[in-house]
Copies of this chain bind each other. A is one copy, B any other.
Amino acid sequence: MIPSDCLVVVVGATGAVGREALAILESRGHPADRIRAVASARSAGSTIPYAGSAIQVSEAGPASFAGARVALFCATSDIARTLAPAARAAGCAVVDNSSAFRADPDVPLVVPEVNGPDVSRVPSPALIANPNCSTILLLVALEPLRAKFGIERIVVSTYQAVSGAGAAAITELQQQASEMLAGRAPQPKVFAEPCAFNVFSHNSAMDEATGLNGEEKKMISETRRIWNDPNVEVSPMCVRVPVVRAHSESVSVTLKHPASESEVREAFRGAEGVVIIDDRKGNKFPTPLQASGTDPVYVGRLRADPGSKRDSAGRTRNHCLFLSGDQLRKGAALNAIQIADLLAK
């Protein structure tokens, strides 16, 4: 845990992830006077409710980090590139939610349940990158299988909430749903496609040569970096669905060593950050609505691949699962705070 006397700077405090970071610090009882909320000039002067009182937002700048021990950057890559050096020069560790440093070999990319010890391989004040939301959720869910059986290949199709595109996207989904229910044609602004009552290929820019969008490229490269395994085969299809804030993923995984379904279930026993919801009789499995606003990655639909051959003990290398997790919490703000917890140790 971040000690309660530690001054924490939240950069981008008025955005969707920044607000979530403040909500988590509030629920942990971190004192209001040990938080500095900073944002763009446009938001400076506004206040954010916190623990029965309010925190005033000031303009983010190089002076924002004086006396602080850790800064949670919940802003754009540009802001991270501009202000992270100033923060570190002031002796303040940085956990960055943007993609600015995710590919930098000198910056650990960390999911605490997976490669937590990597935070200590850099000198202090540390700069640590928080991975992409879909990658975090996927790797938390797969860690028990990777640890026990090894993983050779992942085929993953995502069902991603609009919140990943920011607060304006949530408003767009809600307003567009209203309009369409009233029989009016959707007028997309944030996304190129209508987002209400629709599904569409992820809106991040696409690489024309490979046919992979930005989100898919992150899932491939970040998985390899976090696992320190350049050979793992990752085949993602990233898709937006009309859900407000939690992501889901349908995962087909090829293990290095074959396992039976019960061995897979056994591997999940006590898994950090994972809650199993897998009630076949009641047809109850993870959903993004139920995951919203909560911390765990929910995993269900666990089964040995129905098409794959099995040995006499029922073992196969191919297994399936479905997961849901709140992309603003474990997919972003919570993971960043858990990294700060590790730095505080």
- Known A-B contacts A200-B287, A283-B206, A307-B153; the reply to A242 vs B239 at CB < 8 A is no
Q: Is B234's CB under 8 angstroms from A250's CB?
A: no
For A157, the chain B residues whose CB sits under 8 A away are 157, 237, 250
Q: Is A124 an interface residue (CB 8 A)?
A: no
Q: Is A303's CB under 8 angstroms from B211's CB?
A: yes
A154 to chain B, nearest CB (A): 8
User: Which of B177, B208, B213 is the one whose CB lies under 8 Å from A281?
Assistant: B208
Among residues 194 to 219 in chain A, which have CB atoms less than 8 Å away from a CB atom of chain B? 194, 197-201, 203, 205-208, 210-213, 216
For A193, the chain B residues whose CB sits under 8 A away are 287, 289
Q: Is A199's CB under 8 angstroms from B307's CB?
A: no
User: Which of B205, B216, B301, B307 is the one whose CB lies under 8 Å from A233?
Assistant: B307
Q: Is A322 an interface residue (CB 8 A)?
A: yes
Tell me the dominant secondary structure on chain A's binding face. mixed
Among residues 299 to 330 in chain A, which have CB atoms less than 8 Å away from a CB atom of chain B? 300-303, 305-308, 318, 320, 322, 324
Question: Which of A193, A261, A301, A305 has its CB near the most chain B CB atoms (within 10 A)?
Answer: A301
For A134, the chain B residues whose CB sits under 8 A away are none
Q: Which residue of B lies closest to A248 (CB)?
A: B199
Q: Is A287's CB under 8 angstroms from B199's CB?
A: yes
Q: Is A197's CB under 8 angstroms from B306's CB?
A: no
Q: Is B283's CB under 8 angstroms from A243's CB?
A: no
For A235, the chain B residues whose CB sits under 8 A away are 252, 305-308, 318, 320
CA distance A242 to B244 in the complex (A): 12
CA distance A109 to B265 in the complex (A): 37
CA distance A283 to B200 in the complex (A): 10
Q: Is A82 an interface residue (CB 8 A)?
A: no
Q: Which residue of B lies closest to A319 (CB)?
A: B235
11 example contacts (A-B, Cβ-Cβ < 8 A) are as follows: A159-B239, A177-B181, A192-B283, A198-B287, A199-B241, A199-B248, A210-B306, A211-B302, A220-B306, A232-B307, A239-B250
Q: Which 3 A-B pairs have the closest CB atoms?
A: A233-B307, A211-B303, A157-B250
Which residues from chain A sit less than 8 Å from chain B, CB to CB?
Answer: 153-155, 157, 159, 173-174, 177-178, 181, 186, 192-194, 197-201, 203, 205-208, 210-213, 216, 220, 232-235, 237, 239, 241-244, 248, 250, 252, 261, 280-281, 283-285, 287-289, 300-303, 305-308, 318, 320, 322, 324
Give me 14 other A-B pairs in contact (C-beta within 8 A), A208-B280, A220-B307 excluded. Answer: A159-B239, A177-B181, A192-B283, A197-B243, A198-B243, A200-B287, A201-B283, A206-B283, A208-B281, A211-B303, A233-B307, A235-B318, A235-B320, A237-B301
